[in-house]
Amino acid sequence: MAQVVATAASSAQTVRVAARAGATARVVARAPFFTGAKLQAAARAAAPAARQQTRTMALFGGSAATKGSLYDFTVKGIDGQDINMSKFKGKVLLIINVASACGFTPQYTEMTELYNKYSRQGLEVLAFPCNQFGAQEPGSNSEIKSFAERKGFKGPMFAKSDVNGPNALPLFDYLKSQQGGLLTSDLKWNFTKFLVDREGKVVNRYGSTTTPLAIENDIKALL
C-alpha cells in the first residue's frame, strides 16, 4: 500500500512539473518581440521548461517524437496514398509547409527552380500544405494540387495536415525535435523549411523569410 501511495505521489508531482513547464513556455511564447539581451534572457528562461515539457510528453505518450529516424515515418500523399519516408533514403530533402494564399506563396517559383535544377543530382523538395497559419490553405487536397501544378511545381506533395499542436504530423514533431526554433520549437508560419542530408540528418531549419534560393549553396554542399 505504501508503495502504491508513493507511486501516485510521484506521478502527481510529475504532472505538476509538466504543467509548470508548459505554462512557462506559453508565457514566454506570448511575450512581446524581444531583441538583443532581452531575447537571449527570454530564450534561457524558456529552455528548461521546454526540455522538461518534452521529457514529460515523451513519458506520457504525448507528441514528442519517439521514432529514431526520419525514414521511420509514413505520411499521406496529396492523392491519399500512404508514402513511407524511406522512399527518400539517399536523397537531400528540402521539406516545406506550404500555403496557397500566403504572402510567401511566390516562393513556389523558387521551390520549382531548385527542384528542376537539382532533382537529377538527388534533391527532393517536399511540400506539406497546412492551414494552421492565418487559414491560408483552405482548399481541398485536389485544389491544392491543381494550384501547385499551375505554379509549375512538380515535386512530391502531401495531404493537408497540421504541423503544430496535438494533431501535428509525427514527422513534423520529429523535425522540430531535431531542429528547434526561437523560444519554442513550433513552426511560426507558412514556408518554414527543413534541410535533410542524404543520411536523414536534419541539418538546418530556415524561417519563412528565407527564400529557397537563399539556401541554394547549403543544398549544393549536401549533393
d(C-alpha 49, C-alpha 214), whole Å = 33
d(C-alpha 49, C-alpha 204), whole Å = 23
C-beta separation of 102 from 134 below 8 A: yes
C-beta separation of 77 from 126 below 8 A: no
C-beta separation of 159 from 144 below 8 A: no
Number of continuous H segments (helices) and E segments (strands) in the chain: 6, 6
Q: List all residues 6 or more positions away from 26 whose beta carbon is below 8 Å from its beta carbon.
A: none
Q: Which residue of the set 17, 58, 101, 102 is catalytic?
A: 102
Q: Please indicate whether residue 102 is annotated as part of the active site.
A: yes
3-state SS of 3-70 is HHHHHHHHHHHHHHHHHHHHHHHHHHHHCCCCCHHHHHHHHHHHHHHHHHHHHHHHHCCCCCCCCCCH
d(C-alpha 110, C-alpha 98), whole Å = 13
The C-alpha cell that represents 80 in the structure block: 491519399
Residues annotated catalytic, as ranges: 102
